[in-house]
Amino acid sequence: MPECRPLDLSNARILVTNDDGVQAPGLDVLEGIARKLSDDVWVVAPETEQSATSHSLTVRRPLRLRQLEARRFSVDGTPTDCVVVAVSKVLADRKPDLVLSGINHGSNLGEDVIYSGTVAAAMEAALIGLPAIALSLARRGNHDFYWETAERHAPDIIRRVAEVGFAPDMLVNVNFPDLQPDEVRGARVCRQGRRDVETEVVEGVDPGGRPYIWIGDYMVDESLEPDTDLAAVNEGCIAVTPLHLDLTERRLLETLGAAFS
C-alpha cells in the first residue's frame, strides 16, 4: 500500500491547464474552482484545442509562450508541453503544489485515459512529482454543458482527495455526470473501466470527390462491469478513479520471466 501525503490547500500554489485550449469555457470554470481553494492560482494552457493528443511532447520545433494577462499564459503546444513549460519557466521560482487539468468538454472514462490530453497533463505532473487531478464533465445530449455541476461539487472532491493525499506516480481522474447539480447521486471511488463497443469509424467523400475515413468517438459509454468509472457516471455519480503511471503487468512477471530463464 503506497504512502499518501496529504496536501494542505490553504497556501497551495495551483496550476490550471487543459486540452481544450486557453479560451475554453471549462478552463474558466476550473480556474474559478481553484480560486475557491487558494489565492495563488496560475493558468498555463494550450493556445488551441489539443483533444486526444495523449501524452505527446513537442520536440521537433520551438514552443511559443505568451502571457495573456496576470498569471495567465498560453503555449502553442500540447497539454504535456504546458505542464513542462509552466514548471520549468513560468513557475520556476516555486513549483505548483497541485495541478488541476480540465474541465474537459466531455467525459474521460475507460479507454479515454489513454488518448486524453486532459489526463495526460495530470500524468506529466505526476511524472514530475506533483499532485495532480484531471477533471471532466460528461454530456450525452444536445444541451449546454452543466458547468454548474462541476462548480458545485468539484471543490469538495478536490479537498477530500487532498486530505487523503497523493502517492508517488499517482494521479486522480474525476468525471462528473451529465446531470444538474442537485441530481448528482454522490461520489464513487471506482476503477477504470472498459467499454463494450469500439470507436466509431465513419467513411465519406469530401467536396473534391476524395474518399476519407474519420475516426469518431465511442457510440456508447456502457460497460457490463458495475464497479467502474463508466458505470458510476451512467448511474449519476461522480467517478473518482486513482491512476498509476506504472503499466507493468505484474501477474505476468514470473511466468514471462520463466520463459527467458
What residues have CB less than 8 Å from 72, skipping those under 6 apart? 22, 42, 43
Residue 19 annotated as binding site = yes
Phi, psi of 240 (to 5 degrees): -120, 110
Residue 20 annotated as binding site = yes
Buried b (16+ CB within 10 A) or exposed e, 39-77: ebbbbbbbbebbbbbbbeebeeeebebeeeeeebbbbbb
Residue 238 preceded by cis peptide, ω within 30: no
Residue 93 annotated as binding site = no
**Residue 250 carries which DSSP code?**
G
Look at residues 99, 166, 82 and name the one whose alpha carbon lies nearest to residue 135: 99
Extract the annotated binding site for a divalent metal cation: 19-20, 51, 104
Extract the annotated binding site: 19-20, 51, 104
